[in-house]
């Protein structure tokens, strides 16, 4: 692991690292914000999964999350959205497949299978790396994300009961097996005929098949262009949660779009939500 950047913010430090990933078989980049409390004690961690076309840089620059993390004594862990490098498979003419669009799944199909193991990376390899090298509490973590990363946060929590104290999302892709973004990536990464594999990475399908978590917080803007295009489908998530006894707090935020302006408006409330869960004994 090599540190490539360190910036002081709100009396803590925003650091950036590269390392070779055994899961993705390439160099990966991630950022960690350590609040000032981390200088004297171990702190809980909030993992943030970003959306299509993003890297770790988008959230740390645009969301304003570090202020709230410092106030609440929480480390922020911000991975990249896909493997990178000249040897990594890509579709350079598409923004929604390949680099920047890992979709937080473990690919099973060529040419993706060697590097696109983002589910293992964000649920196992990266948390192990963080807990071994940073002053964070072992196993005391929550997860959140935006759009494709909101999808990632939901499936990581649902597929790993007890691994995350809480889960939230902004404008998540709730039902990827039934939308263009998800169908395009799942066909490439998982294979057109492998519908059981598809279902295992779909929050709605997971809930309908018995996966559960205690509580989910989702913020969705009503002026989100991808909401009207049918890419996000929060109503399907609401129905699945209602039918299966999961407490979903779906907040439809009037007039907000899909951008980081929307996220920056409500990120403080999400961090407060996660702080409450992370503080429980």
Q: What is the DSSP string of 230-242?
A: TSS-HHHHHHHHH
Domain count for the chain, please give it.
1
Q: What are phi and psi of 29, to 5 degrees?
A: -115, 140
Q: What is the pLDDT of residue 195?
A: 84
Domain holding 33: CATH number? 3.40.50.1820
Q: DSSP for 119-137, please give it.
A: HHIIIIIHHHHHHHHSSEE
Beta bridge partners of residue 33, listed in sequence order: 14, 76
Tell me which long-range contacts 98-102 makes (C-beta under 8 A, separation of at least 24).
100/52, 100/53, 100/54, 100/55, 101/52, 101/53, 101/148, 101/185
Query: Distance (Å, rounded) from C-alpha 193 to C-alpha 5?
Result: 43
Q: What is the pLDDT of residue 154?
A: 98
Q: Is 144 a catalytic residue?
A: no
Q: Is 147 a catalytic residue?
A: yes
User: Are 144 and 274 spatial neighbours (Cβ–Cβ below 8 Å)?
Assistant: yes
Q: Which residue matches tokens 């840089």?
A: 57
Q: What is the pLDDT of residue 230?
A: 95
Q: Is 57 a catalytic residue?
A: no
* Token pair listed for 23: 């899961």
**Tens of each residue's pLDDT in the chain, 281 residues:** 999 999 999 999 999 999 999 999 999 999 999 999 999 999 999 999 999 999 999 999 999 999 999 999 999 999 999 999 999 999 999 999 999 999 999 999 999 999 999 999 999 999 999 999 999 999 999 999 999 999 999 999 999 999 999 999 999 999 999 999 999 999 999 999 778 899 999 999 999 999 999 999 999 999 999 999 999 999 999 999 999 999 999 999 999 999 999 999 999 999 999 999 999 87
Beta bridge partners of residue 106, listed in sequence order: 117
For 133: left if phi > 0, alpha if psi spans -120 to 50, otherwise beta; the answer is alpha
Q: What are phi and psi of 162, to 5 degrees?
A: 85, -10
Query: Distance (Å, rounded) from C-alpha 227 to C-alpha 237?
Result: 13
Q: How many other C-beta atoms lie within 10 A of the C-beta of residue 32?
A: 23
The active-site residue out of 144, 200, 224, 270 is 224
Query: Distance (Å, rounded) from C-alpha 252 to C-alpha 191?
Result: 34
The active-site residue out of 115, 146, 258, 274 is 258
Alpha helices in 63-209 (DSSP H): 65-72, 118-120, 126-133, 148-159, 180-190, 195-199, 203-208
The active-site residue out of 144, 147, 168, 200 is 147
State pTM to two decimals: 0.97
Give, in order, the Cα–Cα distances in Å from 187 to each of 110, 190, 193: 11, 6, 8
Q: What is the pLDDT of residue 281?
A: 74
Give the DSSP H or E segment for 142. Answer: strand 136-145
Give the DSSP H or E segment for 269. Answer: helix 260-279
* Domain enclosing residue 266, as ranges: 2-279
Q: What is the pLDDT of residue 280?
A: 87
Give, in order, the Cα–Cα distances in Å from 54 to each of 83, 97, 214: 12, 12, 29
User: Are 202 and 155 spatial neighbours (Cβ–Cβ below 8 Å)?
Assistant: yes
Q: What are phi and psi of 252, to 5 degrees?
A: -85, 110
């Amino acid at each position: 692991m090599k540190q490539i950047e360190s910036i002081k913010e709100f009396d803590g430090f925003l650091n950036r690292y590269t390392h070779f990933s055994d899961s993705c078989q390439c160099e990966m980049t991630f950022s960690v914000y350590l609040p000032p409390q981390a200088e004297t004690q171990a702190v809980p961690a909030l993992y943030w999964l970003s959306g299509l076309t993003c890297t770790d840089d988008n959230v740390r620059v645009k969301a304003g999350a570090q202020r709230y993390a410092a106030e609440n004594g929480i480390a922020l862990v911000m991975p990249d959205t896909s493997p990178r490098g000249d040897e990594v498979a890509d579709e350079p003419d598409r923004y929604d497949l390949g680099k920047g669009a890992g979709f937080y799944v473990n690919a099973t199909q060529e040419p993706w299978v060697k590097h696109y193991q983002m589910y293992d990376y964000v649920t196992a390899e990266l948390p192990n790396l963080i807990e071994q090298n940073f002053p964070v509490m072992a196993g005391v973590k929550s997860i959140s994300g935006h759009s494709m990363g909101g999808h990632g946060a939901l499936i990581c929590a649902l597929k790993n009961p007890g691994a995350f104290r809480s889960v939230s999302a902004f404008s998540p892709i709730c039902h990827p097996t039934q939308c263009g973004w998800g169908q395009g990536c799942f066909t490439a990464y998982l294979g057109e005929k492998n519908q059981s594999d598809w279902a295992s990475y779909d929050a709605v399908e997971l809930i309908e098949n018995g996966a559960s978590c205690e509580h989910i917080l989702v913020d969705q803007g009503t002026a989100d262009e991808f909401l009207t295009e049918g890419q996000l489908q929060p109503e399907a998530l609401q129905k699945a949660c209602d039918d299966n006894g999961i407490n979903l707090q779906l907040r439809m935020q009037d007039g907000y779009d899909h951008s980081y302006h929307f996220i920056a408006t409500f990120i403080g409330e999400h961090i407060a939500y996660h702080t409450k869960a992370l503080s429980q004994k």
